[in-house]
Chains A and B, each alone.
Chain A
């Protein structure tokens, strides 16, 4: 069983809708991630939060807005998305920093379809 929980598992939204993806972990990790994965492609890093502060933004369009309300929660707010944004969105967590023991754990993902 994954220790990173994502909701919803499936989401269909229109291009004018506002929705949010949610992620929760209780492993005491202080780094949390959003990845985007298109079909038959590897996951692509979108955002990293370290100690609840945004540390990496991989030039993601502003229609994706991350939020880290506390050390256990990570949200991705979605607004005015395009059909090409349809993908699997993966949340993950790990310890902050480099080197030993920095194993990353993924949630089951949220399948997003934009119509």
Chain B
């Protein structure tokens, strides 16, 4: 099956810093989503982005499907950005609605 690797696995930032999180996937996808999991376990959908670039406030994401990676940018980070960031993909040719999660990036933003 498809492999989804994220980097870095852990990241510590000072408040106000910028960061880039990466998601690499081993096969072609037709669905890619970014999520933020808060310390209480809630998974919040940030972006649906199988290709192209999107922005939402301080967050933006870019997926280069032909090169099998996606990037999540966080600018002017805040302590509330802390948590785990996951990308999740649906493989072209795989089962419909089979969304597979990446390994995650644990982000800690310090005041």
Contacts and interface: CB of A to CB of B under 8 A. Distances in A.
Are A and B associated in one complex? yes
Interface of A: 2, 31, 33, 37, 41-45, 48, 50, 55-56, 88, 90, 92, 94, 96-99, 101-106, 108-109, 111
Given A56-B97, A101-B48, 9 more contacts: A43-B86, A44-B101, A50-B96, A55-B95, A88-B41, A97-B96, A98-B30, A106-B45, A108-B41
Interface in B97-111: 97-104
Given A42-B86, A98-B30, A106 B42 contact: yes
Interface string B34-50: 01000011111100101
B59 to A, nearest CB: 15
Contact of A96 (B33, B97, B102): B97
Interface of B: 30-31, 33, 35, 40-45, 48, 50, 86, 88, 90, 95-104
Q: Name the residue among A42, A45, A104, A109 with the largest chain B CB count within 10 angstroms.
A: A42
A96 B96 contact: yes
B42 A55 contact: no
Q: Which 3 A-B pairs have the closest CB atoms?
A: A42-B101, A106-B43, A109-B41
A106 B101 CA distance: 13
Nearest to B40: A108
A26 B102 CA distance: 28
Contact of A102 (B48, B101, B104): B48
Contact of B31 (A2, A56, A92, A99): A99
A109 to B, nearest CB: 5
A33 B101 CA distance: 13
B45 A104 contact: yes
Contacts of B97: 31, 33, 48, 50, 55-56, 94, 96-98, 102
B42 A108 contact: yes
A98 B43 contact: no
A94 B45 CA distance: 12
Contacts of A37: 41
Between B33, B43, B86, B100, the greatest number of chain A beta carbons within 10 A of the residue's beta carbon is seen for B43
